[in-house]
Homo-oligomer: A and B are copies of this chain.
């Protein structure tokens, strides 16, 4: 999506050439343009990250297709002390797939077999695309519990490594809620890689660590029963009734739903592909409600003075292969940024039960500069609230920081999407000891994208400064050179 500057052609460094010699049957990518592209994700949503990360790239990309190939690559990298950056499809937003210290991008997209689908559970290799997994689950009357808007290309491993939840989190909460991920199979980054099955809470120690403390080979996840989803856009003239409708729909326990998003004006004006259904200047609520709930949904729309501007039943959605899910979560951001390059975004979460009040307050304070897009979900504790992915008319990094601080000052949590160090983002500070212990166990040489974890290895002096690649540990930097 982003225009990657055409890199000057460069040959891989000697260590990489040695790796390639050692593993000639592996699918290697060294073409400078492809390597540059495969070193990037959607971090360009953030002008800050774009500036910091756009020139970072791997020395080469390897795309193994079997566990044996992965083991051989990992073992060789460990022996040669070559950094490894794990990649799914690059749909993340925080440079999860961008090597800060060069080395090899381990592209997992070729390791993509479905292992099995059972009642309530599926297991697949990490590189499987979520669209494919959803399709396989659907064949058994089931579906994924949390589906990011990027599901067509995003991988299961990528979602686990850098995702939060998505469509479906209104029922099942974030991916981190116990029961959503049952277990995983991971490989250690060592000369003789070990493969281990981790279950439950132990598995979750690798979640949202951006692939920095273990190589996830396979994931076992909870499934949901599939429903025939009715997709609608309900439009309103005013902010307040639109938000009230979204909140009421999200709460209604008898209305089965998969997704409720509130798009305050002028966000809908940025969804060019839906323009004919969204009157200019409208506020819109996008939802997926199980078809038998349509009468109750219409009654709720009427009670709030809305109008159904778009309606597709499950059969129509299936036939058209076009779904409103691809206009939710960070796809909304993507559609908007396509129209207006000056936009960036926030990630925030509201106090459960106070979401309507806080969203209204922030709109009053920052409306015009910050454009409200809120997604309803249950939090880890099962409480209904919103995560917002507000669009921001970007001016300066200082103003962006100020805007985020204005949210924090009013009790709105910011999961800063303008940082690329694990501890600075959603983790919100030093990592828990068990996560560090997992890092020690699974990546003893610190080869997984060095620089991405501030706490590893612990550097006495610079521990609180951003760990830019230039500050990467000498051992690792040496290995890259």
Contacts and interface: CB of A to CB of B under 8 A. Distances in A.
Interface of A: 118-121, 141, 145, 171-173, 177-180, 182-183, 199-201, 222-223, 225, 227-228, 250-256, 290-293, 295-296, 299-300, 353, 378-384
Contacts of A141: 141
B253 A119 contact: no
By CB atoms of chain B within 10 A, which of A141, A180, A251, A253 has the most?
Answer: A253
A23 to B, nearest CB: 37
B380 A172 contact: no
Given A222-B293, A225-B225, A299-B200, A173 B254 contact: yes
B172 A254 contact: yes
Contact of A382 (B251, B291, B300): B251
Contacts of A223: 292
Contacts of A179: 252, 254-256, 292-293, 296
Contact of A177 (B119, B252, B378, B379): B252
26 contacts: A119-B292, A120-B256, A120-B291, A120-B292, A145-B254, A171-B253, A172-B253, A172-B254, A173-B254, A178-B299, A178-B300, A179-B255, A179-B293, A182-B292, A200-B296, A222-B292, A225-B225, A225-B227, A250-B382, A251-B383, A252-B382, A253-B378, A253-B379, A253-B380, A253-B382, A383-B384
A180 B292 contact: no
A293 B121 CA distance: 9
A182 B177 CA distance: 32
Contacts of A293: 120, 179, 222
Contacts of A225: 225, 227
Contacts of A256: 120, 179, 222
Contacts of A292: 118-121, 179, 182, 222-223
A178 B255 contact: yes
Contacts of A119: 227-228, 291-292
Given A177-B255, A183-B295, A222-B292, 10 more contacts: A120-B291, A172-B253, A177-B253, A178-B254, A179-B292, A182-B296, A199-B295, A201-B299, A252-B382, A353-B353
A179 to B, nearest CB: 3
Contacts of A177: 252-255
Nearest to A145: B254
Contacts of A120: 227-228, 256, 290-293
Nearest to A171: B253
A173 B253 contact: yes
A460 to B, nearest CB: 36
Nearest to A118: B292
Given A227-B120, A300-B178, A200 B295 contact: yes
Nearest to A384: B382
Contacts of A228: 119-120
By CB atoms of chain B within 10 A, which of A227, A254, A381 has the most?
Answer: A254
A228 B142 CA distance: 14
A296 to B, nearest CB: 4
A188 to B, nearest CB: 23
A181 to B, nearest CB: 8
Contacts of A145: 254
Nearest to A178: B296
Contacts of A172: 253-254
A290 B223 CA distance: 11
B296 A254 contact: no
A353 B384 CA distance: 12
A121 B171 CA distance: 20
Contacts of A182: 292, 295-296
Contact of A180 (B121, B254, B290, B378): B254
A121 B256 CA distance: 12
A381 B200 contact: no
A146 to B, nearest CB: 9
Contacts of A250: 382
A412 to B, nearest CB: 20
Sort A-B residue pairs by CB-CB distance and give the 9 closest, nearest first. Answer: A225-B225, A179-B254, A173-B253, A177-B254, A120-B292, A251-B382, A178-B296, A180-B254, A179-B296
Nearest to A121: B292
